[in-house]
Amino acid sequence: MEEKTLFRALLFILLSTSVAAIRQPERSPVAVTRRAALENGLGRTPQMGWNSWNHFACNINEDIIRQIADAMVDSGLAKLGYDYINIDDCWAAYDRDSQGNLVANPSTFPSGIKVLADYVHGKGLKLGVYGDAGSFTCSNKMPGSLGYEEQDAKTFASWGVDYLKYDNCNDQGLSPQPRYINMSKALQNSGRNIFFSLCEWGVDDPATWASGVGNSWRTTGDIQDNWGSMTAIADANDKWASYAGPGGWNDPDMLEVGNGGMTTEEYRSHFSIWALAKAPLLIGCDIRSMSNDTKEILRNQNVIAVNQGLGWAIEWREGCSCSMEQRV
């Protein structure tokens, strides 16, 4: 208990300090193991924004997305760099249209994604959508893009989509690498710069090959809203720190801050660990009804500055063979 309290005290001191005073660990060129980054001009710093899945799962509609965009601006989060509004699974109809195009679910997104993108862009924000490198998405409620990569990428571009989270369900027994490379090429040929977020769950060690394919890559399984899951995810992500850098980032999954499964102190640690790891800061709670504690955590400008500033991700295991649970 004393070690846990001491670590949190040191972490608080670190993250209450001006980012200019924080010395990033030195690394020799030999220690840098990542490959050349994807040259689409995106992801020079870890992405910041919001994703629907952790709080809403499939219970989403266009009204919620509009309200989230409004809240992002009204809460002051947008001014701090949270600019992506990302719709996760379940936004599309079960069937493609007669030309094979993806279409928005007419019950939940009757205006279509293009109109929604225009609304989000009008707020000074960016819109993201979800897809899958298999025959169906993980919910099995909408088609995947396997075999439709070029067509779907052009559809996303025509709608004004800015971000694609690309999952790995229903893969037909095919290796992840060629499926993700195919969508990467399709996005590059779409006529629009679209942030490409690989959600391959780390099963094929994407940190070793994805820097030329996408702008971020999941290094772990899905996070759950509890302390044990969060610390285990942090440990699993930790070993890939040297592979991250401008243009491509390790992704230990979205933030759970504000969803109710951890204490305020634990959420503060969660946010700080993600920031120091140079992980994407994608809010996963309902920002329309945040508590004051949640607002304080997510709007901590010193912590955000550590995440968005120049420098390497912190390797929590350096000099320590213990787990994150033991360290925190």
Place of tokens 């993108």: 117
95 is catalytic: no
**Helix spans in 16-83 (H):** 53-56, 62-74
Q: What radius of gyration do the chain's Cα atoms show?
A: 19
222 is catalytic: yes
pLDDT recorded at residue 34: 55
Q: What are the tokens at 204?
A: 């094929």
Of 167, 235, 238, 253, the active-site residue reads 167
pLDDT recorded at residue 13: 44
Are 255 and 284 spatial neighbours (Cβ–Cβ below 8 Å)?
yes
Are 141 and 58 spatial neighbours (Cβ–Cβ below 8 Å)?
yes
Of 118, 171, 222, 293, the active-site residue reads 222
CA-CA distance, 283 to 149, in Å (whole number)? 28
pLDDT recorded at residue 17: 45
Q: Look up residue 78 and give its DSSP letter.
A: G
Are 110 and 102 spatial neighbours (Cβ–Cβ below 8 Å)?
no
Q: What are the tokens at 127?
A: 């819109």
Alpha carbons within 13 angstroms on the beta-carbon side of residue 70 total 8
Other Cβ atoms within 10 Å of 8 Cβ, number:
16
pLDDT recorded at residue 243: 96
Nearest 5°: phi and psi at 265?
A: -65, -40
CA-CA distance, 155 to 194, in Å (whole number)? 12
pLDDT recorded at residue 315: 64
Sort residue 242 into left (φ over 0), alpha (ψ -120 to 50) or beta. alpha
Q: Are strands 249-251 and 281-283 parallel, antiparallel or unpaired?
A: unpaired
pTM > 0.85: yes or no:
yes
pLDDT recorded at residue 47: 99
Closest C-alpha among 122, 167, 121 to residue 140? 167
**CA angle (287, 166, 297) in 5-degree steps:** 25
> Is 48-327 CATH 3.20.20.70?
yes
Integer CA distances (angstroms), 127 to 60, 71, 115, 159, 193, in order: 15, 15, 11, 10, 12
Q: Give exposure, 168-206, as e/b (b: 16+ Cβ within 10 Å).
A: bbbbeeeebeebbbbbbebbbebebebbbbbbbbbebeb
CA-CA distance, 134 to 168, in Å (whole number)? 6
CB within 8 Å of 213: residues ≥ 6 apart: 38, 177, 180, 181, 184, 196, 198, 206
Are 127 and 88 spatial neighbours (Cβ–Cβ below 8 Å)?
no
pLDDT recorded at residue 268: 98
pLDDT recorded at residue 26: 45
Closest C-alpha among 129, 118, 125 to residue 83? 125
Per-residue pLDDT of the chain (328 residues; tens, 9 = 90+): 444 443 454 455 455 444 444 444 444 333 445 568 898 999 999 999 999 999 999 999 999 999 999 999 999 999 999 999 999 999 999 999 999 999 999 999 999 999 999 999 999 999 999 999 999 999 999 999 999 999 999 999 999 999 999 999 999 999 999 999 999 999 999 999 999 999 999 999 999 999 999 999 999 999 999 999 999 999 999 999 999 999 999 999 999 999 999 999 999 999 999 999 999 999 999 999 999 999 999 999 999 999 999 766 766 554 444 454 544 4
CA dihedral 251, 249, 149, 116 (to 10 degrees): 70
Q: What are the tokens at 171?
A: 């893969």
Per-domain boundaries in the chain: 48-327
